[in-house]
Amino acid sequence: MERETGVWRLVFLALPLGVFTVLVIWPLASSFYYSFTNWNGFSDNFEFVGFLNFKKLWTDKLFFNAAVNTAIWMVAAVLIPTLLGLGLALLIDSRIPGGSVFKSIFYFPICLSAVVVGQIWIWIYQPDWGLLNVAIGAVTNTSPDFAWLAKPDTALGSVIAAWCWQHTGLAMVIYLAGLTSIPEDLLEVCEIEGASTWQRLRVVIIPLLTPATVVVVALNVINSLKGFEILYIMTGGGPFNSSDTLAMHMYNESFKKYLMGYGSAISVVLFIVALTIIGIYFRELKKVDEIYG
Amino acid sequence: MARLVLDNITKSFGTVQVINGIDLDIAHREFVVFVGPSGCGKSTMLRMIAGLESVSGGRIVIGDRDVTHVAPSKREIAMVFQSYALFPHLTVAENIGFGLRLANTPKVEIDRQVGEVARTLQIEQLLARKPRHLSGGQRQRVAIGRSIIRNPKVFLFDEPLSNLDASLRVQMRLEIARLHQRLDATMVYVTHDQTEAMTLADRIVVFNAGRIEQVGTPIELYEKPANTFVAGFIGAPSMNFIEARIDSSGGAPIARFGPASIPLTGTGNRFPPGDVTLGVRPEHIVFAEGRTPDFEATVEIVEKLGAESLVYLQTGFSADPVTMRVSPEHPVKPGDSLPLCLDRGRVHCFASDGAVI
């Protein structure tokens, strides 16, 4: 009987495990494999080059540029939507008039694909008739024609702004759910103990929102690591690699320069970075679980 | 002096009035328990005293100060919640010293006061733990500690023992009683458990549908209930109610139900002829033992509780079983037919509107 149950377990697990193996394990293992080769992506003839691709990373200025941009991208793409989401959630939770309408409006962008969001913001950033320059012109009474996406100084920041616009709503909704799960009597204790609004926020609400923060940060980290499409649509990593991230650099090396082996080495580095972040996340999650259950 | 006065308090939610003109004067150091069924308004009343709920009408006075519209933190009250309301991210010490921390009290002073309170409640060894790692009883002690450290004039308890198991509840009840003896404070305690009310209270306030049904000492309420609601609510098991008819044709009033005729004490004027409800406590139904029985009843179920047995009786005059309290040694068993009498001096008589006659 027990053996029969075991067989059925294997049968039912076979399909998801098969899909997982084909779509995740196999490509991952392939990346590791090809990172030690000089494969160009097409030819059957390639050689094992050992750690040569990884050594090359140390001397690749574009890789370092992409790594710095990735760090900026990740910090901004995690911090800004998290903080804005928290702020908006607190504002809407304070029962401002029209709160539910604002909630829907702020949440709407997350329903759009990155390609659509990218295109909307390309229009907003248009030098001649884009909404941003028109708005700045209306306020300053000038006619600015600043090319936000075409300048190395502003390209990455402009894409980050578009990214934050899309992802703040999700953080807000998660924080709103977190706020509603704070027991009312804890807030009443604050009232009885005479906590000011700031004390209530700092000592009680923000710490009690830790489980929500863990979810928001995790989602933002994962999404930012995967944040390739919007960069590809809006800047393609340019101008002059100023918005090049590791994911973009990997794509360019693998599929534009046909250096699949080197691209795989970049993907391995990216994988290790992601694994480290996820490891830290799980460690923190355990701590949160110990406190909040 | 922490006298607490509730003066014609009303509370409405929209068009629904949930508290209907409560008047109550609670003396300094008095332990008053609000009891009543769920939704009767007792917790709402407590929350209004705390300032967590606004008052629709009337005045709340603590000491000599009208606090009706004063913020909760300025009322000199402390509240212990049913759920303990401990902050999960703070240690026991931080939870107890929460109010002092908010008031920017120096850390040395917070540590001293927290240590003192922890010694009082015997929770010194728990100070570094988080609430999640405490038992229900320990959590409740911490919640009480947080209220003691405020040194309030009035302690408010909102069903503080409801989440504890039966044995722990008895233990904590005792601790709260000790605390009351030790502290120079007035206490208002809300519960729906009438055993807690009877054991803790100097006075009990029985709430029903947003009104006070009766205020009195536990024994007053038990022995002289003002109406059928109080009579039925106070006492476990509940008072037996028997529909009867008063016959004063022969001079002295007689209550008749089924085959029974019970002469009532008092004059014919106090017991006007008509339908009434007789109220009899289970311990006031006794075996006839040679006397002429008032009625006979058949034993349906016997509950042996150790110190006593409860006997549920089928009678010809009541659809509900009549409860009787007997000695645990009594060999009564289901199916027995028992000749019984009422302890006539202890029979309560209620008019058709429920008020005691």
What pLDDT does B265 receive?
Answer: 66
Q: Could you give the angle at which helices A155-180 and A210-225 cross, rounded to 10 degrees?
A: 150
Assess whether A7 and A42 both reside in one domain.
no
What pLDDT does B268 receive?
Answer: 46
For residue A204, which residues of chain B lie inside 8 Å, CB to CB?
Answer: 87
What superfamily does domain B4-233 belong to in CATH? P-loop containing nucleotide triphosphate hydrolases (3.40.50.300)
Q: Which of A157, A168, A206 is nearest to A186 (CA)?
A: A206
Q: Which of B107, B97, B181 is nearest to B145 (CA)?
A: B97
Nearest chain B residue to A184 by CA distance is B85
User: A289 and chain B: CB distance < 8 Å anywhere?
Assistant: no
CB within 8 A of B60, min separation 6: which ones? B4, B5, B6, B7, B9, B48, B49, B66, B67, B68
Nearest chain A residue to B96 by CA distance is A193
How far is the C-alpha of A155 from the C-alpha of A152, rounded, in Å? 6
For Cα atoms A155, A157, A158, give the angle at the middle one, nearest 5 degrees: 65
Assess whether A80 and A103 both reside in one domain.
yes
Task: List, as ranges, residues 255-274 from A with C-beta within 8 Å of B.
Answer: none
Per the rule left: phi > 0, alpha: psi between -120 and 50, beta: everything else, A23 is: alpha
Nearest to B73 among A186, A191, A210 (CB): A191
- Rounded to a whole number, what is the largest CA-CA distance in chain B? 81
Minimum distance, in Å, between the CA of residue A186 and any CA atom of chain B: 5
Assess whether A9 and A51 both reside in one domain.
no
Using the beta-carbon criterion (under 8 Å), do A192 and B50 form an inter-chain contact?
yes
Using the beta-carbon criterion (under 8 Å), do B73 and A193 form an inter-chain contact?
yes
What pLDDT does A144 receive?
Answer: 84
- Exposed, middle or buried, A12 (CB in 10 Å: 0-12/13-18/19+)? exposed
Residue A254 lies in a domain: yes
Q: Which of B57, B55, B59, B60 is nearest to B44 (CA)?
A: B55
Domain positions in chain B are: 4-233, 240-350
Q: Which of B296, B316, B312 is nearest to B304 (CA)?
A: B312
For residue B132, which residues of chain A lie inside 8 Å, CB to CB?
Answer: 290-293
CB within 8 A of A65, min separation 6: which ones? A241, A244
Assess whether A14 and A139 both reside in one domain.
no
For residue A194, which residues of chain B lie inside 8 Å, CB to CB?
Answer: 71-74, 99, 102-103
The secondary structure of B158-197, three-state, reads: ECCCCCCCHHHHHHHHHHHHHHHHHCCCEEEEEECCHHHH
Nearest to A192 among B72, B88, B89 (CB): B72
Report ipTM for this prediction: 0.85
Assess whether A234 and A121 both reside in one domain.
yes
Q: Which residue's structure tokens are 């909040």?
A: A292
B240-350 topology per CATH? OB fold (Dihydrolipoamide Acetyltransferase, E2P) (2.40.50)
Phi and psi at residue B208, in whole multiples of 5°? -155, 125
* Residue of B81, B105, B147 to mutate, interface with A, max A Cβ within 10 Å: B81
Q: Which residues of chain B approach chain A closer than 8 Å at the C-beta?
A: 50-52, 71-74, 77-79, 81, 83, 85, 87-89, 98-99, 101-103, 130, 132, 146, 150
CA dist B197 → B80, B116, B161, B190 (Å): 16, 29, 12, 8
What's the average model confidence in pLDDT over A36-61? 90
CB within 8 A of A279, min separation 6: which ones? none
Assess whether A51 and A186 both reside in one domain.
yes
Assess whether A274 and A221 both reside in one domain.
yes
Residue A5 lies in a domain: yes
**Cα Rg, chain A, nearest whole Å:** 24
Assess whether A219 and A94 both reside in one domain.
yes
For Cα atoms A180, A211, B101, give the angle at the middle one, nearest 5 degrees: 80
Report the domain count for chain A.
Answer: 2
Assess whether A210 and A162 both reside in one domain.
yes
Better pLDDT: B167 or A172: A172
What is the length of chain B? 357
CB B294: neighbour CB atoms within 10 A?
A: 19
Beta partners for residue A48, in sequence order: A37
Q: Are B348 and B294 in contact (CB under 8 A)?
A: no
What pLDDT does B266 receive?
Answer: 53
Domains B4-233 and B240-350 share a fold: no
Task: List, as ranges, residues 168-227 from A with C-beta within 8 Å of B.
Answer: 183, 185-186, 188-189, 191-196, 199, 203-204, 207-208, 210
Assess whether A21 and A145 both reside in one domain.
no
How far is the C-alpha of A204 from the C-alpha of A210, rounded, in Å? 10
Per-residue pLDDT at A152 exceeds 80: yes
What pLDDT does B267 receive?
Answer: 45
Using the beta-carbon criterion (under 8 Å), do A183 and B72 form an inter-chain contact?
no
User: Which of A125-129, A224-228, B138-142 has the lowest average pLDDT?
Assistant: A224-228
For residue A289, which residues of chain B lie inside 8 Å, CB to CB?
Answer: none
How far is the C-alpha of B45 from the C-alpha of B10, rounded, in Å? 9
Beta partners for residue B350, in sequence order: B277, B356
Using the beta-carbon criterion (under 8 Å), do B81 and A194 form an inter-chain contact?
no
For residue A191, which residues of chain B lie inside 8 Å, CB to CB?
Answer: 51-52, 71-73
CA dist A131 → A122, A126, A127, B316, B336 (Å): 10, 8, 9, 89, 93
- What the block records as the tokens of A182 is 């704070």
Residue A30 lies in a domain: no
Assess whether A95 and A68 both reside in one domain.
yes
CATH number at residue A140: 1.10.3720.10
- Is A130 strand, coil or helix? coil
How far is the C-alpha of B310 from the C-alpha of A291, rounded, in Å? 47
Using the beta-carbon criterion (under 8 Å), do B98 and A186 form an inter-chain contact?
no
How far is the C-alpha of B265 from the C-alpha of A242, rounded, in Å? 102
Residue A166 lies in a domain: yes
Q: To 10 degrees, the CA torsion angle through B112, B113, B119, B124?
A: -70
B197-239 tens-digit pLDDT: 999 999 999 999 999 999 999 999 999 999 999 999 998 899 9
* Residue of B46, B53, B79, B153 to mutate, interface with A, max A Cβ within 10 Å: B79
Phi and psi at residue B15, in whole multiples of 5°? -90, -5
What pLDDT does B297 receive?
Answer: 92
Q: Are B70 and B55 in contact (CB under 8 A)?
A: no
Assess whether A155 and A100 both reside in one domain.
yes
The boundaries of the domain holding residue A259 are 35-292
Residue A276 lies in a domain: yes
Walking along chain B (357 residues) 10 residues at a time, the average pLDDT comes out as 90 91 94 93 94 94 94 94 93 95 93 93 92 91 92 92 86 89 90 89 94 95 94 91 85 82 65 84 91 90 93 90 92 92 88 86
